[in-house]
Structure 1
Amino acid sequence: MRKMNKTMIYGMLTALFALASCMGNGNPVSLSDLEGEWNVVELAGQSVNTKQQPFIGFDTREMRVYGYGGCNRLMGSFEWSDESARMVMDKLASTMMACPDMEQEKALSHALSLTKKVKRGDTDQILLCDSLNQPLAKLNRRCFMMPLSDLQGIWDVVKVNGEVLPDSMENRPFFSLDITEKTLSGNAGCNQMNGKFKTLEKPSNSLVFLPISSTRMTCPNIETEFEVLAALKEVTTFGMLPNGHVGLFAAGSVQVLELAKRKN
């Protein structure tokens, strides 16, 4: 009985703490604060645990919401009131793919349909709450939106598929992007590479690399080069990461490359 009571008390305290996080009087969230993309890290107080990271993106210029639920792509519009940080997302649609486990995606869709308020959480974090200030979802900043023109220049590859490239690498992969000509050139870690890229009308941060050609030398760290070239083929979007670097993302919100702009 004591064990049961402790469990019940702990659960009640957890719920009250979560509720307080939506009822707090922290700094209000503005529409401009929403701009960009957010990873969904909690739903109804439960941690999101999946290889295909769900995320939500807010395009505040067109008042459009989009994202990925773990299986299907989400899209629609949202309404916003700056005075009360009130949000309505009750007109969302999604693709219709079937996946082995759809429960988490259903929970996300349900949370979005009930969202009425947005509160600020910890650093680079927001909370989606219902009309009674009960928390529905916790979102961590994935990336900020940035104009394509900001990609102009030379970029060093610092991470590939989440793995940090060691500083001891003799030939660190890098590439230069020419936004006017929409071309890519650089070194994948061993060989010179050249190619082109394109953007799509939607989403506004789309980025797709066309087939890339390269020289054919053999080097000790050729595996890293293979990973870089494979990652570039998968890229669908880009964004500014909270640390100031640029992330290149594949379908399903997976970050495949992290880039640092080379200083002149």
Structure 2
Amino acid sequence: MLFELAISLVTTFLAPVQNQQPSPKTQVIYVKESREPCTGVAPMECLQIKGVNDSTWGSLYTNIVGFKYIPGYRYKLKVKITQVKNPPADGSSVKYTLTKVLEKKKVQTARVSGNATQWASVAGKKWSLIKMGDTELTESNIWLEFDNATKRFHGKGGCNNVMGSYKAASDKITFSKAASTMMACSDEKVMQRESAFLQQIGDHTFNYEVTGQTLNLSENGKVVLTFSLQDKEDKKENAVAPDASQWAFIASKKWNVIKLGDSTLTQSGIWLEFDTDKKRFHGKGGCNSISGGYNATKDQITFTQAISTRMACMDVNIMRRESEFLKLIGGHTYRYDVADQTLNLYQNGKIVVMFGMQDK
């Protein structure tokens, strides 16, 4: 989606099949006044950039040579974009070099509003639902966690994983884009309660109050959801060995990409298969054959840098999507789960890749 992916893609795949370095490209870009959390080889903060005709910002996982960034200013830059020959495994295949600063404007960044101390007691903790409406709940298995850096929440709806965005201001919290995985559970009551919970929080604004170890969400003066603070599981648990039976199932199937970021795909032509003995994956990126290594724990998977053949396809959109997919998985760690007939990869509680199951 980002223009730099398109540039990287075109220069990589449309180049003649000789050891010839592609010519540098000149591009005008905007640089946002604030960095945003991102995950490359490790969690970090990335510059946010977009092209002149782009409507959304994207993370730049490298620096702009010759550019001195000062937070609080929005920049319009002319840059030279050069394809890097034989980049290191953890390095970018594209080099950005500043040609000229076309514009530099001071931007007033939004101040944190509301009771920061109160919200600090909410964010980063696990909150289990103990009451919904007038119904007391025991071991509902519905819980939420809030990430203050990304303004996202994730958790469980009782059966499926749930996730979305939020904004906290003063004594109010607004939920948006609440979504869930699509696993069907055998207990119909659990599914009904999950559906009611998602409907309750989806695109709603509540007053919130923290009392001791209780978080109350109110609407029209009435408490509609009550959560209790719960100790998080020991993070070391994430390092335990993967479920052998689950991975035997994963390895027996072909996994087709049906969602990439916010885009739902039909017949994407992107798929992976996993070899649990060799800890390798292979598949198609839409145009080229791709392969690499992986390591899995109980609920996390780490991909090595993915490699691909260098066939040039006529459809630029397919090539752009292939480049986006390779960049998304290469050298990254994600939380994963298998829900019904989907394999889902998560980052900060949000599904970034969803695969649909297919028999080999």
Q: How high is the TM-score relative to the length of structure 1? A: 0.49
Higher strand share goes to which structure? 2
Given the two structures, how large is their TM-score scaled by the length of structure 2?
A: 0.38
Considering fraction of residues, name the structure with more helix.
Answer: 1
Q: Which has the higher contact order (CA 8 A, sep 6+)?
A: 1
- Greater C-alpha Rg: 2
